[in-house]
Chain A
Amino acid sequence: MDSTRRTLIPKAFLALGLWVGFWGLSLVIAGALFWVPFAQGTSGDGVDPLGWLAVAAGAGVLWAVRPRGWFTKKESGWAALSPEEAPRLHAFVQEVASRCGAARADEIGLEGGAGASIGIERRGLRRIRRVNIGFPLFAFLDREELSAVLAHEFGHHQGGDLLLGPWVYRTRASLAQAVDSLEGSAFFLDVPFRAYGRMFLDVSGSVSRGQELAADARSVSAYGRRAAWSALEKIHRLAPRWSVYLHAVAISVIEHGCRVPLLEGFRMFLARQTLREDLQRRVEEIEARAPTPADTHPPLGERLAAIDVHGRALAASRDDGSGCLDLLGGEQGAETLFYARATRGKLREVGWADVGRDVLAPAEVERFAEGPLALERVGPRELPRLLADWSSLAQSLSGGGPSFLSPAAERTRVHHLLERWLTAALIKRDFVPTLEPGAAMTLSRGSETVDPAVVLLALIEGRLSASEYLARCQRWDVRG
């Protein structure tokens, strides 16, 4: 028996045990509840109201744990990269597989996050082994580092982790569904499932973390400590920023039907000394997240220490390098492949320098064409009044629907809206918007540059008096 099989058997038993444990727990609880009226009927003086209550509770438990979505077809991700689209990448991945002694990948795909994954999908009778590689990895990891990442993923396959994954997933899904269904149960029926869920996450998390370390070890043995260390360090450093950039900056522009240079924008995002406040807060939130026992991956420090406890590989890992975009036919080709999968319809190509003027400005002006802040009726001079009577504005903006915000949150929402409204109003007054990834939008006309957010904050905090503001408004109204 080889070592892989030796480690697989206890894992298999554990996964199966956790799965059986969930159903055992469900059936024991339901069975115990159904047993109450049965025992009352056969051994006592008949079924009393409490017996019927137990029947109802037992039925509730069975209903809550009923299997759902086991056999529904799951999204397999973006369309795979064909060998014709990315011949070098295919050759590269298969070479890595060969070097690791792993089976070849049947499909290679792209994914939006700064990570990689490997999985097996059933398509009829076929089992498709698919490797997904995060788009930004091509930009920031060199070939050795990307090889180490792929070797890690193939290590999962070699360790048999992919066979156990579906069982763990099903159990996790069933638990989540049961807890969701029984949430707020009048009889505390969710309590045992919550407790089991915590235990399950702890146990499965521990196993999963062990699998990650084992996959890291395979990566090291195939491509060395430096590559593994460096790839891991880079991914952990860049992933939070990529996530914030992609979702809070890039996608908000792409949503307007534009194709912006994604990687160029990210480089600009990284290059900024200070990020816009809300973006910086998001990055810090992700980075500051404390490890929990349910985590599927060990903390970075633990993983790096497992690779090289003395940290000798650290010195070589700080160079972000030029990446390996050639595997996707260069930066332009890589982005084409990304957009082809991540978006639908025809996109208009726009550079970051023109995004403010060509994309956001028309959209903002359009947004305030109607409604209580219609630019034709309400000018920037109204801002002090609107700030003073923000609650009336909030009410008229809500359209009569329910509000779930606190007064402070409602006020903040109104402030954000007024910030964008002021931006649109200034655009109408020939101010040209400029948006750099990671920075706030600025508006400039001639030599005057206005940051609407700064103006609004100064007005709110009293650093800018109403009269001073009105004087500026008078100046703004004079068209350049």
Chain B
Amino acid sequence: MRAAVERGDPFAVYRALALGRLTGRLRQHRDTVKALLGNRRLFARPMKQGSGPFLGTFNGFGATLMGAAEKDGTTQIATHVAVAVFFIPLFPFGAYVVSPAGGGAMHRSWRLFARVPLTFGTWLWQRTLSLGALAAVLYAGYGAFHATQHHVLHVLNGLNEPVNVTLGNSTMHVPPGGRQVIDLPVGTVRGIAKLDSGAEVDDQQISVRSGSQKLVWNVAGAAPLMLGEIRYTSDRATASNDQGAEPTIYCGQRVVSIANVDFAFADPPKSISMPKGSNVIVRHHLAVVPVERKGPDLCIGYLMSTGKLTEVLPLLELAARSSGWDPARTWTLLVVARVVAPDRAIPLAEAALREKPDSIAHHRMYQALSSFRMSVADLQARYRARADGAPSSAGAQYLYARLLRGPAGVEAVQAGVARFPDSPDFLRYLLAVEVTRGRWKQAQEAWERLSRLAPDEAGDVLDDGITSLVALGRVPEARRQLFERFPKWQRHVQARAAVLDARLASLSHASDGDRLVKKVEGDSTDAVMRVRAGLSGGGEGSVEKPIADYQRIVLTAPEKVPAAASALPPMASVGLSEAEWALSWCECVRLGEQACRQSLERSLHYSAYDLEALARFVRGDAPSIEVIALEPTVRAAALLVRSRSPSLASGERDRLVAEARQADWVHDQIIDAIPAWTRPAAR
């Protein structure tokens, strides 16, 4: 009280009195204090010169004078308050001795005489609000400061198993397909992601900077992170005309920093308020594309389809490893590795073999890869040692036998089948050898036995099996087998079966040639497959453009093949049919076009030794191709392309074309291509 008086602050005196009354310290002066507190005019201060309180409201928001306390004649005490929403008083600024002048309740004019203290309760409320506001501003300041020193990192796990992430000193568990956030100090932080098995899947030096951009660590680049535009339009007409930009997909990108994101990993609102005169407002939405099956397949497919093979390779390796080196995934990995990182292909194949030492499929891939790096003698020696080390292993014997060529190879396969009659590997190899030798009955028997013992394996040599039946004149039976066994095969085998069924239907003048094609197509139409099947139809919209264009060139304009093959996207050759590939590759070989040839040698279907033997035949350096086991379509293509050599006599050329026509037992695309490919070649 004394301090307030000495300070000359009447408001402080009033508050000191009120506090003294509340605490009972002024009990002996109760009546006096009560009288003093009941008359705030006693504590009045003059108005500051030229600085009256702001009075004005707009739509119920602003500041006004409220209340009429301690009326005295024509004057009263009113409180100056901030109001909002229908004049609800929010914050009391001060109190004044006023005299109301004209105007209504909400638009009254006032005459102000002096400032008086707020009632103690109102003052406490004001100070509480003030403290709250001060604390809030301080908190906002702290938050802003924190924001300049930290940034939120979103960690995405697009894999199909959980990862344990270490970021500096922090660790976190991210479930499959999940997302976690962590607040990191600015600077560089090392992030390591490991599977539960301990296998490391990612290791990044992440640069953390403050800002409003969204920082995302997409572990291994596996999650289909997408930045899309959300376009809010004022009317339906604008909406229908406004398609917006294509979304940006961040598959394969490990650490991304994305600016101008309005909605991050949250559903954007259905509608927003738009300023007048604006037809379209664009907002940016960052999200992970929802997938039915957790895992990196969507990103792998996206990257493969867009030719981003460098980015997809780590994902493929991760997918192959996490799948336990599934043969299909391993095959894709090795094919891509051969294209973008040739030095890594064999180490990867060896890594797969370490995990799957007895897998025939993996050894086949390894042999194919190795054939491009080592001599046939070395590879044979390696597998001979392996076969000698495991004489009772059908697989070891098969893997050695399949490296032998000519009579030795035939003898080895016959011996193998005799010793291991139930070995699917020997049976499929025997089937290929017998088809190559034209021994259709033996081939058909091998096919039947293989189909019984291992239907899946039989699918891999479908062309040989069906060709043997056709060569024996059993076309209806071939179609029946295709139709009955169709559901059991894998999808890529089903696609080939549908093509073969259509070709055989044409051969036998049946009208149901598209019965299996329709099953493969489902609700859509696959124009490329229909061309391969010799069927009409197929909308333009469903055509896979690069393949369709190339397919057209192969069948109608062989002189353009070398250039078109060289220009094919990196992995497009994998999507060609046997006939399309074989015609193209053989023509490139015949013309000595190395770029074109290498562009087509991306599949691991044939070893380098087989390709070289085939090349020698196409170039006319070898009299026959009987020494290698080729699918009938490839054999037909080789014959047809060899016939294009200008140095051949016309009789010889006709003979080769006739052989090609005959070799294409199922009347596949080779027959379709003959008219164009038998036109005189320029060179």
Interface of A toward B, CB cutoff 8 Å: 32-33, 35-46, 48, 50-51, 53-54, 57, 180, 184, 186-188, 395, 398, 400-407, 409
Contacts and interface: CB of A to CB of B under 8 A. Distances in A.
A53 B211 contact: no
A239 to B, nearest CB: 22
A41 B145 CA distance: 12
A69 B461 CA distance: 101
B113 interface: yes
Contacts of A36: 137, 140-141, 144
Contacts of B93: 184, 186
B44 interface: yes
Contacts of B147: 39-40, 43-44
Interface stretch (B70-78, B229-237, B439-447): B70-78
Nearest to B123: A184
B114 A402 contact: yes
Contacts of B48: 180
A398 B41 CA distance: 15
Contacts of B141: 32, 35-36, 54
B212 A53 contact: no
Contacts of A38: 144
B130 A188 contact: yes
A480 B552 CA distance: 144
A42 B137 contact: no
A257 to B, nearest CB: 29
Determine which residue in A39, A40, A402 has the highest number of CB atoms from chain B within 10 A of its CB, and name it. A402
A187 B134 contact: yes
Interface in B28-45: 35-36, 39, 41-42, 44
A404 B114 contact: yes
A129 to B, nearest CB: 34
A409 B39 CA distance: 13
Contacts of A40: 140, 143-144, 147
Contacts of A188: 130-131, 134
A4 B173 CA distance: 74
Contacts of A50: 136-137, 139-140
B29 to A, nearest CB: 13
B114 to A, nearest CB: 6
Q: How large is the interface on B (under 10, 10 to 19, 20 to 34, 35 or more residues)?
A: 35 or more
6 contacts: A40-B140, A40-B143, A48-B140, A54-B137, A187-B137, A402-B41
A404 B136 contact: no
Interface in B79-121: 91, 93-94, 97, 99, 113-114
B359 interface: no
B126 interface: yes
A40 B139 CA distance: 12
- Enumerate the 9 nearest inter-chain pairs by beta-carbon distance, A residue then B residue, closest first: A39-B144, A50-B140, A43-B147, A43-B210, A44-B147, A402-B75, A404-B44, A43-B148, A404-B41
Nearest to A395: B73
Contacts of B99: 402
Contact of A45 (B134, B136, B139, B212): B212
B42 A406 contact: yes
B47 interface: no
A395 B73 CA distance: 9
B124 interface: no
A43 B209 CA distance: 9
B44 A42 contact: no
Contacts of B75: 401-402
Contacts of A405: 41-42
Given A402-B97, A404-B42, A186 B73 contact: no
A46 B140 CA distance: 12
Given A36-B137, A400-B74, 9 more contacts: A39-B147, A41-B212, A42-B211, A44-B212, A50-B139, A53-B140, A188-B134, A402-B72, A402-B73
B681 interface: no
A479 to B, nearest CB: 41
B42 A53 contact: no
B133 interface: yes
Given A186-B93, A405-B42, A43 B73 contact: no
A241 B182 CA distance: 76
Contacts of A41: 212
A43 B214 CA distance: 11
Contacts of A43: 144, 147-148, 151, 210-212
Nearest to A33: B137
A39 B114 contact: no
Given A186-B91, A406-B39, A44 B73 contact: no
Contacts of A46: 212
Nearest to A407: B35
Contacts of B73: 395, 398, 400, 402
A187 B127 CA distance: 9
A41 B99 CA distance: 46
A294 to B, nearest CB: 12
A43 B145 CA distance: 9
Nearest to B40: A404
Nearest to A53: B137
A50 B134 CA distance: 10
Nearest to A292: B6
A57 B74 CA distance: 36
Contacts of B130: 186-188
A39 B145 contact: yes
B32 to A, nearest CB: 9
Contacts of A403: 41, 72
Contacts of B91: 186
Interface string B569-595: 000000000000000000000000000
A221 to B, nearest CB: 38
B212 to A, nearest CB: 6
B136 A402 contact: no
A44 B137 contact: no
B79 to A, nearest CB: 13
Nearest to A42: B211
A48 B143 CA distance: 11
Nearest to B111: A402
A32 B74 CA distance: 46
B249 to A, nearest CB: 25
Determine which residue in B48, B136, B151 has the highest number of CB atoms from chain A within 10 A of its CB, and name it. B136
B212 A42 contact: yes
B475 to A, nearest CB: 70
Contacts of B210: 42-43
Interface in B336-355: none
Interface string B554-581: 0000000000000000000000000000
Contacts of A48: 140
Contacts of B42: 404-406, 409
A409 B144 CA distance: 54
A35 B144 contact: yes
Nearest to A37: B144
B557 to A, nearest CB: 58
A58 to B, nearest CB: 10
A40 to B, nearest CB: 5
Determine which residue in A50, A53, A407 has the highest number of CB atoms from chain B within 10 A of its CB, and name it. A50
B136 A53 contact: yes
Contacts of B41: 402-405
Contacts of A180: 48
A188 B134 CA distance: 8
A159 B640 CA distance: 117
Contacts of A406: 35-36, 39, 42
Nearest to A51: B140
A74 B160 CA distance: 83
Contact of A53 (B72, B133, B144): B133
A32 B142 CA distance: 11
A45 B264 CA distance: 11
A347 B144 CA distance: 70
Contacts of A400: 73-74
A404 B137 CA distance: 38
A402 B211 contact: no
Given A42-B211, A404-B41, A184 B144 contact: no
